[in-house]
Amino acid sequence: MKNIFTPLFLLVFITTAWSQKVEIPVDTTVTTNHSVTINSKNIDYTATTGMQPLWNNDGEPIASLFYTYYKRSDVKNTENRPLVISFNGGPGSASVWMHVAYTGPRVLKIDDEGYPIQPYGIKENPHSILDVADIVYVNPVNTGYSRPIPDEDGKVDREKFFGVQADIKYLAEWLNTFVSRNERWLSPKYLIGESYGTTRVSGLALELQNSQWMYLNGVILVSPTEIGIDRDGPVGIANRLPYFAAAAWYHDALPAELQNKELEDLLEEVEEYTINELTPVLVKGGFTETAKKEEAAEKMAYYSGISKEVILQNNLDVDYRFFWKELKRKDGVTVGRLDSRYLGIDAKEAGDSPDYNAELTSWLHSFTPAINHYLRQDLNFKTDLKYYMFGPVHPWDRSGDNSGENLRQAMAQNPNLDVMIQSGYFDGATTYFNAKYTMWQLDPSGKMKDRLSFKGYESGHMMYLRAEDLKNANEDIREFIENSLPKEGAPAKY
């Protein structure tokens, strides 16, 4: 009998084990103690990783969001201690990029230009902003370890999470709980978002004020999206040229007299041409005089590193993807989308777009093993959930994106709210010149332009991957925080 029933018992056991679902931690924290040297000063801090629930109107948990919260240990009174709330983008991207490569106390082991090296892992970040602010990295639903919690029928209402407006609304509710639990209501507060995260934090600035009665001191937009500000048609086409010039300059594809210029000097020249000459030509479209069209194509070729013939074949409308394929076609390589310093190899040199994003594959190469190891081994957060670098959030409802107007409204309502934009010159996805255009258009009245600032860097979408820009960009944030803190007792009024 023993020999007969043992295989049956094993079959039942294995089937039962396989049928068990991975548990979603709904409300849990793990705190560890660490230290880091920032600007030659030792900083002791705690790192709290956890899952905090989001509730519906009946008080039932409908999602559990994963976060990592760094708090300086030697600051007992937090009423003057800034709190930076950090989001990445996608939508669908985990809050991993800025966490372990930019502002946090640990950064990737990569080379000075941002390329992966082995063995993978992390090291101290001597430029982290933890000396001047505590930081929480928040992962929206279906990013990182964050998950929706199915109802009793096993269903998830995707409309509550996966869209511009839904995302902003539920995250504001979640942040209210986080700030209350961690007793940070008196602290100056800052939002920082990267890429789609800039849409998120722009909308959150007003949502937090109007629905949670939580007022901010600053919003930092890293490699911003359009945030609902139109730049279609001739403006959208013309705005590509300064980025084309930056990428061509990096790859030594420009005439000597341009190549010998400092990058920012070159870009100032290209911006002036774009605004004052190219845009008016494009506005006339097919009714542009032939001589004017020829002249524009020649100038575009001069600044972009691709031929006048190709530009005319495209009627002056050179698409980004075509540019990434064309710039170094003769060398048999493509340039990256998010960072055009990176090179890729396609199956064919012919074609009008690259086979893949060379920069993103490089980044995932180094980020994925590092974050999985760091959270489990260094921060002691253990779960069988997969860490979603990019999670299942699509289809994403992009309707009603008024995030730029929301940010303007939040600034108008709150005299203490300042905004800083950070962009890499070699970013071809959210280009630096479109970021400038966003800043220019954000407040058409011009009455708040002294509260808007722009910083550019000689790198790409994640400018902080380059060692020099990691230092400079963090210092820019540090200065932004220090300069935007009002003097004690100063009233918030116009």
Q: pLDDT digit string (tens) for 68-127? A: 999 999 998 999 999 999 999 999 999 999 999 999 999 999 999 999 999 999 999 999
Model pLDDT, residue 20: 64
Model pLDDT, residue 455: 98
- The stretches of 65-135 forming alpha helices (DSSP H) are none
Unique residue bearing structure tokens 């490569």:
101
In degrees rounded to 5, what are phi and psi of residue 164?
-55, -55
- Shared-domain flag, residues 47 and 156: yes
Given 298, 322, 356, which residue is the final one in a domain? 356
Residues facing 163 on adjacent strands: 397
Model pLDDT, residue 154: 87
* Domain membership flag for residue 9: no
- Shared-domain flag, residues 221 and 238: no
Given 325, 356, 387, which residue is the final one in a domain? 356
pLDDT-derived band of residue 265, with 50, 70 and 90 as boundaries? very high
Domain count, the chain: 2
- Shared-domain flag, residues 254 and 205: no
- Shared-domain flag, residues 68 and 134: yes
Q: Provide CB contacts within 8 A for 6, sequence distance 6+.
A: none
Closest Cα to residue 459, out of 335, 321, 338? 338
* Domain membership flag for residue 309: yes
- Shared-domain flag, residues 213 and 241: no
Kindly state the average pLDDT of the residues 163-183: 98
Contact 297, 311 (CB under 8 A): yes
**Cβ–Cβ contacts within 10 Å for residue 476, how many?**
17
C-alpha–C-alpha distance, residues 390 and 127, integer Å? 27
- Shared-domain flag, residues 52 and 176: yes
- Shared-domain flag, residues 333 and 378: no
- Shared-domain flag, residues 393 and 445: yes
* Domain membership flag for residue 23: no
C-alpha–C-alpha distance, residues 456 and 422, integer Å? 6
Model pLDDT, residue 153: 87
* Model confidence pLDDT, tens digit, residues 381-402: 999 999 999 999 999 999 999 9
Provide the token pair at 38: 């920032």
Provide the token pair at 253: 């594809």
323 residue type, one letter: F
pLDDT at 324 over 60: yes
Can you give the residue range of the structural domain that contains 305? 233-356
Q: Could you tell me the CA-to-CA distances from 139 to 58, 192, 440 in Å, in that order? A: 24, 13, 30
Given 334, 356, 378, which residue is the final one in a domain? 356
* DSSP H or E segment with residue 147: strand 147-148
- Shared-domain flag, residues 206 and 135: yes
- Shared-domain flag, residues 178 and 48: yes
pLDDT at 131 over 70: yes
Task: Give one word for 142, left, alpha or beta, with left for phi > 0 and alpha for psi -120 to 50.
Answer: left
